[in-house]
Amino acid sequence: MPQDEFIIKTYLMVDALYNQLVQKPLRQGGFAPKLSDCELICMEIVGEFLGMDTDKKILQYFKQHWQNWFPNLGSYPNFAKQCANLYWVKQQMHQKITANWCEQ
């Protein structure tokens, strides 16, 4: 499967799961991140699938190759903070995906 198609399919899966899991806004105050939660989670999944083992490598890869698809990529500290803040959502997605695979 071409990488662009893989990114699109991953994003659509993440978006569907995110909308099932997150019923109310996750953030109470402060500025909302420019990069959406679904974009960030998609980037992490794709990056890890491609063998990147750090947030920094994932961000660098997407800045070099997919900046036009993810125009709101910011600084590494903001990216890493958003990744960490979404830990609960990513864990819930993992459980849901695993449960679906076990049922099949």
Q: Is the pLDDT of residue 95 over 70?
A: yes
Q: Record the tokens describing residue 17, joined without a space.
A: 């799961």
CA distances from 92 to 34, 39, 52 (A): 23, 17, 22
pLDDT digits (tens, 9 = 90+) for 46-94: 999 999 999 999 999 999 999 999 999 999 999 999 999 899 999 999 8
Note the pTM of the prediction, 2 decimals. Answer: 0.88
Cβ atoms within 10 Å, residue 96: 13
Q: Record the tokens describing residue 84, joined without a space.
A: 């960490």
Q: Is the pLDDT of residue 24 over 80?
A: no
pLDDT digits (tens, 9 = 90+) for 30-51: 777 899 999 999 999 999 999 9
Q: What is the pLDDT of residue 100?
A: 72
Q: What is the pLDDT of residue 27?
A: 65
Helix (H) or strand (E) holding 12: helix 3-21
